[in-house]
């Protein structure tokens, strides 16, 4: 017997949608999400989002040249876990433009990008330009370079180029920008200073890594002291 009550009819019609929704997440994934949430920082949400204005031009040649420029006159990259952090960065190394980054315990080298990050960015870079590592339980981190529009002018009165999206964070002696893109995905863009040129950012895109872990990974591969940006 078919009800004529439109709400009941609508409720009946929607049952397959609800059943499909129930099947989206199994018990294991539900518990995994719970574990991530209760393991996260409980301070009030403080993320700001800004429109993405960066163009991606990462290329191995540019990256290599950049690495040479950055390491010139400075100490060789010194892996560090950052002051006071007790993070075990004993996983596989990932490499981008001559810098070698350590990853968390349990991570092994992966030939697959963590997500469609590179492909989805306007003017996206060649997917061969990233280096990634993944863990058996779904964690992933990849490194690549992003060159922003605008120049870092030597004119002190010139406006600085817009920063990448995210919240400003310290990455050792470097300026970083952390953007939590969802509960599990985050991007850390670290400014690699160079005067009179386009701003360059090391980008670590991660799945299932905390902000602290991402910062530690970045610090593990960058020279302790940024190169001088003094203008001639």
Query: Can you give the binding site for other proteins, defined by CB under 8 A?
Result: 2, 6-14, 17-18, 20-22, 24-25, 29-30, 33-34, 36-38, 40, 42-45, 182-184
Shortest approach of other proteins to residue 139 CB, angstroms? 16
Specify the pairing of strand 107-110 against strand 167-171.
unpaired
Closer of 14 and 64 to other proteins (Cβ): 14
Shortest approach of other proteins to residue 49 CB, angstroms? 9
Closer of 42 and 72 to other proteins (Cβ): 42
Closer of 5 and 128 to other proteins (Cβ): 5
Shortest approach of other proteins to residue 48 CB, angstroms? 12
Closer of 47 and 225 to other proteins (Cβ): 47
Shortest approach of other proteins to residue 19 CB, angstroms? 9
């Amino acid at each position: 017997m078919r009800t004529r009550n439109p709400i009941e009819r609508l409720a009946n019609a929607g049952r397959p949608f609800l059943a499909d929704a129930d099947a989206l997440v199994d018990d294991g994934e539900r518990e995994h999400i719970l574990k991530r949430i209760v393991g996260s920082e409980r301070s009030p949400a403080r993320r700001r989002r800004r429109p993405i204005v960066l163009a991606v031009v990462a290329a191995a040649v540019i990256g290599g040249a950049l690495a040479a420029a950055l390491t010139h006159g400075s100490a060789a990259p010194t892996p560090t876990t950052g002051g006071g952090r007790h993070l075990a960065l004993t996983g596989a190394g990932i490499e981008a433009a001559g810098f070698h980054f350590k990853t968390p315990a349990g991570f092994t080298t992966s030939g697959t990008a963590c997500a469609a990050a590179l492909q989805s960015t306007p003017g996206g870079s060649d997917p061969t330009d990233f280096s990634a590592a993944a863990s058996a339980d779904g964690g992933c981190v990849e490194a690549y370079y992003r060159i922003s529009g605008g120049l870092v002018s030597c004119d002190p009165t010139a406006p600085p180029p817009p920063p990448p999206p995210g919240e400003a964070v310290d990455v050792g002696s470097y300026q970083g920008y952390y953007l939590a893109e969802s509960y599990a995905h985050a991007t850390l863009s670290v400014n690699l200073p160079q005067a009179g040129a386009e701003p360059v950012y090391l980008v670590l895109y991660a799945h299932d890594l905390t902000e602290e872990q991402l910062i530690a990974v970045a610090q593990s591969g960058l020279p302790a002291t940024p190169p001088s940006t003094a203008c001639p």
